[in-house]
Amino acid sequence: MGSATELGLFIRAVCYSANKHRYQRRKGADAPPYINHAIEVADILANLGGVNELPTLLAAVLHDTVEDTDATYGELEETFGRDVRLLVAEVTDDKDLPKAERKRLQVEHAPHMSERAKQIKIADKICNVRDVISNPPADWSLKRRREYLAWAEKVVDGCRGANSNLSRYFDEVLHEAWSRLGREA
């Protein structure tokens, strides 16, 4: 991301995402604003993964808007372009499906996503695993936290090869999580 136009479009995506997520909080015990997560995913991509390709960074900031807000794919395409809409669609779960099915499909679809979508997915899982360690939902038992870690590892395994820096960092975060939580279920 280099030009003023690119920076302006990135800021527009942050504003769009912040507006769409304005009433939402993360599940963590301290319930941080949801937008923090979207920004963190883009930050991980840019600063840990070395990603500087604008559509990927835009899609990172927007990755949960269609899944978790009233945003539409049409709005995303009109405002940010077809490429961004397609990337967001690749990483979006179908909320009409039961949660267990959505989780199963993430594991199944991960190896078949584009390299850019895989990078977004790894960055998203890095954020989520860090939250499971440091700020888990208050109602999540140790067993549920461990189950999340095991599932996230399966999703990321399907994304390996897309970005070695992100994969390596995910492994470090996951190792720390297992060290803190223990592997026994």
List residues with catalytic annotation: 67-68
DSSP reduced 3-state for 16: helix
Asked if residue 30 lies in contact with residue 135, where contact means CB atoms within 8 angstroms, the answer is: yes
Write the CA distances from 33 to 129, 179, 183, integer angstroms. 17, 28, 30
The CA distance from 82 to 131, in Å, is: 31
Concatenated DSSP letters of 48-89: TS----HHHHHHHHHTTHHHHSS--HHHHHHHH-HHHHHHHH
Asked if residue 127 lies in contact with residue 41, where contact means CB atoms within 8 angstroms, the answer is: yes
Asked if residue 157 lies in contact with residue 150, where contact means CB atoms within 8 angstroms, the answer is: no
Total residues found in the chain within this entry: 185
Per-residue HEC secondary structure of 123-176 comes to HHHHHHHHHHHHCCCCCCCHHHHHHHHHHHHHHHHCCCCCCHHHHHHHHHHHHH
